[in-house]
Structure 1
Amino acid sequence: MSGVPEPVRVAIVDDDELVRIGLAAIISTAPDLTVVGEAADGAEVPPLLARTRPDVVLMDVRMPAIDGLQATRHALATSARPPRILVVTTFENDEYVYAALRAGASGFLLKRARPAEVLAAIRVVAAGESLLFPAAVRRLATAYGQRTPPANLTEREAEVLRLMAEGLSNAEIAGRLVVGVETVKTHVGNVLAKLGARDRTQAVIAAYESGFVTPS
Structure 2
Amino acid sequence: MIRVLIVDDEALVRAGLRMILDSAEDIEVVGEAADGTEAVTAVARHWPHVVLMDVRMPRMDGVAALREINRSPEPPKVVMLTTFDLDEYVHGALRARAAGFLLKDTAPRDLIAAVRTVADGSAILAPTVTRRLIDTFAGHGSADTHAARRRLALLSGRERDVASAVARGLSNAEIARELDMSETTVKAHVSRSLAKLGLANRVQIALLVRDAD
Q: What SS does structure 1 have at the residue aligned with 2:73?
A: coil
Matching of residue 84 in structure 1 with residue 77 in structure 2: yes
Counterpart residue number, 1:137: 130
Counterpart residue number, 1:195: 197
User: 1:144/1:127 Cα in 2 relative to 1: closer, same or farther (>3 Å)?
Assistant: same
Counterpart residue number, 1:168: 172
**Structure 1 contact 36–52 (Cα < 8 Å) conserved:** yes
Counterpart residue number, 2:46: 52
Tell me how far 1:188 sits from its aligned partner. 4.6
Counterpart residue number, 1:11: 5
State the distance in 2 between where 1:139 and 1:45 align: 27
Gaps in structure 2 of 5+ consecutive residues: none
Counterpart residue number, 1:4: none
Deviates more, 1:144-153 or 1:120-129: 144-153
Quote the sequence identity (%): 42
Matching of residue 99 in structure 1 with residue 92 in structure 2: yes
State the distance in 2 between where 1:115 and 1:13 align: 17
Tell me how far 1:90 sits from its aligned partner. 2.3
Matching of residue 21 in structure 1 with residue 25 in structure 2: no
Q: What SS does structure 1 have at the residue aligned with 2:28?
A: strand
User: 1:197/1:40 Cα in 2 relative to 1: closer, same or farther (>3 Å)?
Assistant: same
User: 1:140/1:87 Cα in 2 relative to 1: closer, same or farther (>3 Å)?
Assistant: same
Counterpart residue number, 1:115: 108
State the distance in 2 between where 1:92 and 1:117 align: 21
State the distance in 2 between where 1:139 and 1:69 align: 19
Deviates more, 1:17-26 or 1:102-111: 102-111
1:115-166 CA-partner distances (Å, limit 9, x unpaired): 2222122112112222123343233233234143322424233123234443
State the distance in 1 between where 2:120 and 2:17 align: 19
Q: What SS does structure 2 have at the residue aligned with 1:59?
A: strand
Gaps in structure 1 of 5+ consecutive residues: 1-6
State the distance in 2 between where 1:104 and 1:93 align: 18
With the length of structure 1 as denominator, give the TM-score of the two structures: 0.78
Matching of residue 63 in structure 1 with residue 57 in structure 2: yes
**Structure 1 contact 8–56 (Cα < 8 Å) conserved:** yes
